[in-house]
Structures are given as structure tokens and as C-alpha cells.
Amino acid sequence: MPFLDLIDGNSMFYKDWGNITGPPVVFSHGWPLNSDNWENQMHFLGNQGYRVIAHDRRGHGRSSQPWTGNDMDTYADDLLQLFVHLNLTDATMVGHSTGGGEVARFLGRHASTDPTLVSKAVLVGAITPVLGAIPSNPSGVPLSVFENDRETIRKQGRAQLFWDLPSGPFFNFDLHPENKSLALIQSWFDQAMQAGLVNVFDCITAFSETDFTEDLKKTDIPVLLIHGGEDKLVPVENTAKKAVKLLKKGSLKVYDGADHGLPNTYAERVNGDLLEFLRS
């Protein structure tokens, strides 16, 4: 399995599939998952001639579980090292949820100063521009929601939280029990339990309190936002509908009645929209 040695001594696991000479598509996963969550999209686009790459963010999946660096700046800097290692240019970046924040920070922190790195981006159910109700975003999700998640980890352990989320609000199985898939819940749980405790704990602050407004304003490449209209975890009104207004070349597709886990629950539709955007 390929691992990249990062400059701070940690290691990053990544997948590099598809056509090695094809246009590169780089995927960033959501919290607390790993690159496995993008396998459907990677398999689809790999068979369309693209080079598809996905990493396990530090602290997640098969990557190192460091005590420090569990923040958006470091996530973006780690990803830049992967770009350099694989000599990636003119890439399309695709991020889901927390991974959408990682992509936005990468665009603002690195791609804005080196336009050869990225030509397009897709944000799926992304936390941009701000998820939580911090002072710059008072209408966001109350920070008490995220503190409750941390308290569940403290008192009951992460396993309980990581079973409750996919069983309920992540895929909206609480709203639509007729759609409930134990296999999908188990897959989500298994990925989540590979992550390190301190890493997922600290990442809650990173995804709920980081403001990506300036990153989006700096971005002048085409960006497609895809969001579930019934996303309970990352409400579309406070995220995607605000984010698209900050982008110079943004467009938004809202899947009516859809949940947060679009790469899984709406895989075929996401795949089709990705391919159409890549070919445009």
C-alpha cells in the first residue's frame, strides 16, 4: 500500500488508481471516514479514463494518528505534499463534508498562489463557508450540537457516536427508516473506528468553527457545489447557498429530499454530475 512520509514525520496513506496519464481527480473524504468512502466514484471515473487519487487525512484511516496538526491549515499542507509527491497539476479536487472544507482551504492557501495546481473543484455537502454558529456566522449550527458530540465521546466512547450518526441523521435513516441499510451503517462505522480518538475529537472543532469565506473569495476556478436539500447535519441554506455567492465561478445543484451522505446514497447521480462537470 502506498504511503507518503510527511515532513513532520507522520505518514499519509493514499490510493492512486485509474489511468496514470489521465486527467487527475483528487478526492478528500468527510469526518470521521477515510478514502474508502470515495471508492464508488473512483471506480467509476477510473473506468472513464481519469487518474483518481484519494488519501486518508491525518488521524483517519490508515494514516498516522498524531497528537497535533488536526486543523484545516495542516490538512491542506499535508495534501500539498501529496500533490508534489505525485507531480499533480491541472487537477480537479472533490471534497465531501469536512473534505469540502479541506479543498476550500487548499484552494485559498495553495492553489490561489499556484494556478497550475487545480483547474476545477467540486464541493459535496461541504461545510463551507462556515458550519457552526461562530461570531462571524451567528445563524450557523449551534456550537452546543458539536459539544454534545464531544460529550458523547467522553462519556460513552466514540463507538456509540459512530453508530448513532449513520443510523440516524447522516443518511436520514431516522426520517426514512424504509431506506435503512445495515450494511451502509456498518461500513460507515468500520471506517470511523479506524480513526484516532484525539484526531476525530479535535477535528470536530476544525470542521465546525473554521471560516472558509476568504478561501472561497480567492478562488477563481469553476466550482460545482452539490448538496442535499434535506441535509440535517450540514444545512444547505447556511452552507452551499451562501458559499456559491462567494465564488467567482460557482454553480449549485441541490438534490431535493437528499441527505448528507450523497457519495453513498446518491452514488449514480453524483457520478454522473462529476463526469459532466469534468467534461465541461
What is the rounded CA–CA span in Å between residue 42 and residue 39?
Answer: 5
Decide if 227 is catalytic.
Answer: no
User: Considering the chain, what is the average pLDDT of its residues?
Assistant: 97
What's the pLDDT at 48?
98
What is the rounded CA–CA span in Å between residue 41 and residue 45?
Answer: 6
Band of residue 1 on the pLDDT scale cut at 50, 70, 90: low
What's the pLDDT at 45?
98
Given the residues 64, 211, 260, 273, the one annotated as active site: 260
Top CATH class of 3-279 equals: alpha beta
Decide if 231 is catalytic.
Answer: yes
Query: Cell 486518508 belongs to which residue?
Result: 56
Segment 139-145 mean pLDDT: 97
Q: Which cell is 233 given?
A: 447535519
Over 80: is that where the pLDDT of 204 sits?
yes
CB neighbours of 131 closer than 8 A, spacing ≥ 6?
140, 141, 207, 208, 209, 234, 238, 239
What's the pLDDT at 90?
98
- The CA distances from residue 187 to 93, 167, 181, 182, 280, in Å, are 24, 11, 10, 8, 33
Band of residue 23 on the pLDDT scale cut at 50, 70, 90: very high
Phi, psi of 251 (to 5 degrees): -140, 150
- Containing H/E element for 149? helix 143-156
Q: Length of the chain in residues, anyone?
A: 280
Segment 4-26 mean pLDDT: 98
Given the residues 97, 112, 167, 208, the one annotated as active site: 97
The domain spans of the chain are 3-279
Given the residues 56, 77, 211, 231, the one annotated as active site: 231
Segment 127-151 mean pLDDT: 97
What's the pLDDT at 14?
98
Segment 229-233 mean pLDDT: 98
Over 70: is that where the pLDDT of 184 sits?
yes
Q: Which residues pair with 13 in a beta bridge?
A: 3
Decide if 260 is catalytic.
Answer: yes
Q: How, if at all, do strands 223-228 and 118-124 pair?
A: parallel
| 3-state percent breakdown (helix, strand, coil) of the chain, nearest 5 | 45, 15, 40
What's the pLDDT at 261?
98
